Amino acid sequence: MTNNNKTPEKKELKPKKVGIIRWGALIPLVIFITLTGLYLNFLFAGHLRWILATGATQANQAEVNIADLSLNFKEAKYRFNDIQITDPKKPTHNRLQIESIEGEFSWDALLRMRVKINHAAINGITTDTPRKTPGELVIESVTQKVVGKDSAIGEELREAKKAGLSTVASQQEGNVLENVAAILGGSDPSEQLNNIKGELAIVKRSEEIKQRIKSQKKRWEQVQEKVGGPKFVEKTKARINRLAKTKVKKIQDAAAAIKELKSIKKEVKEKVGTAKTEIKQIKQEISELKQLSRGLSKLADKDIEQLEKRLNIPKIDTGSMAQGIFENYLRAKLGPYAKYLDMGKEYLPAKKSTEKSAKSSSSNKSSSFTPQARAKGHNYSFGKQGSYPRIWLQQGVISGHQQADNGVSKVKGNITDLSSNQALLGRPTKIKIDGQYPVNDQIFSKSKSVTFGLKKARGSLLLAGTISGGLLDFTIKNTFKKSQYNIQSNSRDLEAILKESVTGLRTIQVNGTIKGPIAKPKIKLRSNLSNALESGIKRGVNKRIAAAKAKVKAMVDGVLKGERGALDNLINKSGNGSLKKLNGKAAKILNLRKSADRKISDLKGAQKKKAKDKVKAQAKKKGKKLLKKFKKLW
């Protein structure tokens, strides 16, 4: 026991003295860093290439090969060589083959937690190139390998192509040439016009006016009654005659007759007054009806316009002809690039609002200070003018070429200063795409009645412009040289017109602009082809349009003339008849008044004479009495 207790004391070891630094951890740390460095230098590129190729194969559903990937960490460079993307519907061919993709980052920016790509290039893009060995398909890799042109896949591909073509065709339908064909190939509108005659606004309005004339006519008849019927004139005349025959034995007899005649005169005067007022009223009403009748002419213009629409008589807007013919074509050509713009939209600055611009203008001098909401916390930006934006592609280059049976295709593109913050960079994004390509069976306008396009030509496209504040400002120059046209129409006239229009026009130039927001840019185009078509079509088509319009006008004018004539007849017959009748009645009544006046005058004369005679008789009597008295005196 004692021994046991002593033994540990003897053998007791002092604990190791340890310092503040953990030297033991430094060596593993150094080894770890060295191994990581060696891995990144020698193995990482190979592994990354395998990961990318495998991931891309899964995404593409067909084999994707990357021949080589080299990374240079010191200079922050990368380069992919010979990328082949198998077409899953045609595994013997690549849907896309790229000679190389290379880029160089800026270490200076990376150290500042920014991404600046000094230079990026996608070189030698070709499509539909044959593969050395057919690519493996992801779905069929277990059960089936590569199939040739006559396989189900080939059939599917052909169907897909057909579907694609029909989509393009449907997009190009209904443009300006279809309108031209509609005129030249259209049927005679006369028959249609006759069928819709009853629907004309003139006819409808004329019916309304006729109804109004009928109701007016009723009123006018009532007015005749109001002024006095034929019995009134006869009765009054008889009364006047009866009074005129009054034997004036006494003065009082004449006075009574005069009184009655005066009352007749008053009555007659009232009737005359009513007649005059009604005549005035009727005249006004007739004038209004005539005005309504004349108003039909205005409706005629509307009728012509409506009929032209109904008969599809188009207005040939030759100014928009280039737009109509080439817009769909250019949209289809530029569509694939729009996809990349959409992808880059995240990094492109949005259209500035007034509030933002005010803010930035005040802060740009020293620093921009913009908090951005995030899931956790807010990111503050302390950038100043000229400093690196979050992401900046200083220069990107794209190039491709393809040799096909129908000629060589070349494309060369350049993009500069694509950044996440243009205000910080102080430069807009510039894009330039320059390409030459063969044109074979390119249809610009296809419809049931007309096909217009190019059989063969040598095309070139130059697109250049800037993107600033989310707005596009581009110019397009599209040229087709050595053009051979493909013009077909079921209207011989149209075919002749179109062929004649383009005779001698071997080089087509389509120039224009693309402006506005990235999502909805406005394309404006002008072309020498449209000018040539304009003059040709104007000559041929305008004649047809004018003839069709003249037919419509003649028809409407005819209807108008007929309706107006009928209305005028009705107005004259009803209105003027009533007026004549009323005037005659008024004249007769007026005669009664005159007759009454005469009778009154006669009676007054008789009354006067009677009074004179009476005075004379009295004087005679008094004279006789005086003579008798005088004789007595003598």
Partner 1 sequence: MTLILKQIFGLLKVLNSDTGSNQIASGIAFGLILGFIPALSLQTVFTFVLILIFRVQLGAVLISAFFFAFPAYLFDHTFNQLGSYILEMEGLRSLFTTLYAMPIIPYTRMFNSLVMGATAMAFMLFPLVFVIFRFLIIKYREKVVAKIKDTKLFKMLQATALYKWYHKYDQIYG
Q: Which of 39, 50, 340, 369 binds partner 1 (CB under 8 A)?
A: 369
3-state SS assignment for residue 239? helix
* Number of other residues whose CB lies within 10 A of the CB of residue 532: 19
Identity of the residue, 106 or 483, whose beta carbon is nearer to partner 1 in the bound complex: 106
| Residue among 391, 371, 418 nearest 110 (CA) | 391
How many Å separate Cα 311 from the centre of its chain?
21
- Binder among 245, 249, 315, 378 for partner 1 (CB under 8 A): 378
- Which C-beta is closer to partner 1: that of 22 or that of 249? 22
Given 3, 9, 10, 12, the residue binding partner 1 (CB under 8 A): 12
Should residue 504 be labelled a site residue for partner 1 when binding is judged by CB under 8 A? no
Closest CA to 33 of 41, 600, 46: 41
Q: 10, 20, 27, 231: which one contacts partner 1 (CB under 8 A)?
A: 20
Q: In the numeric block, which tokens belong to residue 203?
A: 């006819």
Contact 127, 93 (CB under 8 A): no
| Chosen residue from 18, 27, 343, 633 binding partner 1 by CB under 8 A | 18
Q: 113, 142, 343, 633: which one contacts partner 1 (CB under 8 A)? A: 113
Size of the site for partner 1 (CB under 8 A): 34
Question: From the CB of 16, what's the least distance to partner 1, in Å?
Answer: 6
306 makes contact with partner 1 (CB under 8 A)? no
Instruction: Note whether 382 binds partner 1 by CB under 8 A.
Output: yes
Among 134, 135, 228, 383, binds partner 1 (CB under 8 A): 383
Kind and range of the H or E element at 107? Answer: helix 107-111
Does 27 help bind partner 1 (rule: CB under 8 A)?
Answer: no
Nearest approach in angstroms of CB 112 to partner 1 is: 6
Q: How many CA atoms within 13 Å lie on the side-chain side of 522? A: 3
Residue 174: phi and psi, rounded to 5, are 75, 15
Q: Counting beta carbons within 10 angstroms of the beta carbon of residue 619, is it exposed (0 to 12), middle (13 to 18) or buried (19 or more)?
A: exposed
Residues 41-70 that bind partner 1 (CB under 8 A): none
From 27, 111, 343, 633, residue interacting with partner 1 (rule: CB under 8 A): 111
Nearest approach, Cβ of residue 71 and partner 1 (Å): 21
Q: C-beta of 378: minimal distance to partner 1 in Å?
A: 5
In 3D, which of 325, 318, 334 has the Cα closest to residue 172?
A: 325
Choose the stretch contacting partner 1; rule: CB under 8 A; options: 63-71, 183-191, 327-335, 364-372.
Answer: 364-372
What does the radius of gyration of the chain's CA atoms come to, in whole angstroms?
Answer: 53
Q: Which residue number, 110 or 338, has a Cβ lying nearer to partner 1?
A: 110
Of 423 and 582, which has the nearer Cβ to partner 1?
Answer: 423
- Do residues 254 and 248 make contact, with C-beta atoms less than 8 angstroms apart? yes
Nearer to partner 1, 22 or 132 (CB): 22
Q: Give the nearer residue to partner 1 in terms of CB position, either 50 or 73.
A: 73
Applying CB under 8 A, which of residues 6, 47, 112, 506 lies at the interface with partner 1?
112
Question: What is the token pair recorded at 47?
Answer: 């592994």
Binds partner 1 (CB under 8 A): choice among 13, 27, 142, 633: 13
What is the closest distance, in whole angstroms, from the C-beta atom of residue 81 to partner 1 in the complex? 32
For the record, the structure tokens of 16 come out as: 């190791």
Classify residue 189 by burial, with Cβ atoms within 10 Å: 0-12, 13-18, 19+.
buried
426 binds partner 1 (CB under 8 A): no
Return the number of the residue (75 or 234) whose C-beta is nearest partner 1: 75
236 and 244 Cβ atoms separated by less than 8 Å? no
Evaluate the CA torsion angle 200, 206, 209, 215 in order and state its sign.
negative
Own/partner pairs for 606-615, CB < 8 Å, 24+ apart?
A: 606/248, 606/254, 607/248, 607/251, 607/254, 607/255, 607/258, 610/248, 610/250, 610/251, 610/254, 611/251, 614/251
CA distance linking residue 325 with residue 478, whole number of Å: 13
Candidates 2, 3, 10, 19; binder of partner 1 (CB under 8 A) is 19
- If the CB atoms of residues 380 and 634 are measured against partner 1, the closer one turns out to be 380
The distance of closest approach from Cβ of residue 344 to partner 1 in the complex, given in angstroms and rounded to an integer, is: 23
Q: Does 108 engage in binding with partner 1 (CB under 8 A)?
A: yes
For partner 1, what does the binding mask look like between residues 319 and 358, x meaning CB under 8 A? ----------------------------------------
382: phi then psi, degrees, rounded to nearest 5: -115, 30
Which of the stretches 204-212, 374-382, 403-411, 422-430 binds partner 1 when contact is defined by CB under 8 A?
374-382
The distance of closest approach from Cβ of residue 28 to partner 1 in the complex, given in angstroms and rounded to an integer, is: 9
Q: What 3 state SS string does 438-483 have? A: EEEEEEEEECCCEEEEEEEEEEEEEEEEEEECCEEEEEEEEEEEEE
Taking the least distance from each CB to partner 1, the nearer of 343 and 373 is 373
Measured in whole angstroms, how far is the alpha carbon of residue 188 from the centre of its chain?
30
Per CB under 8 A, which region of 63-71, 339-347, 371-379, 527-535 contacts partner 1? Answer: 371-379
| Rounded-to-integer distance, Cα 48 and Cα 68, Å | 11
16 part of the interface to partner 1, by CB under 8 A: yes
The yes or no reply on residue 376 touching partner 1 (CB under 8 A) is yes
- Residue pointed to by tokens 């009134």: 232
Contact (Cβ atoms closer than 8 angstroms) between residue 308 and residue 549 = yes
Point out which residues bind partner 1 (CB under 8 A): 8, 11-13, 15-16, 18-22, 25-26, 29, 108, 111-114, 366-367, 369, 371, 374, 376-384, 387
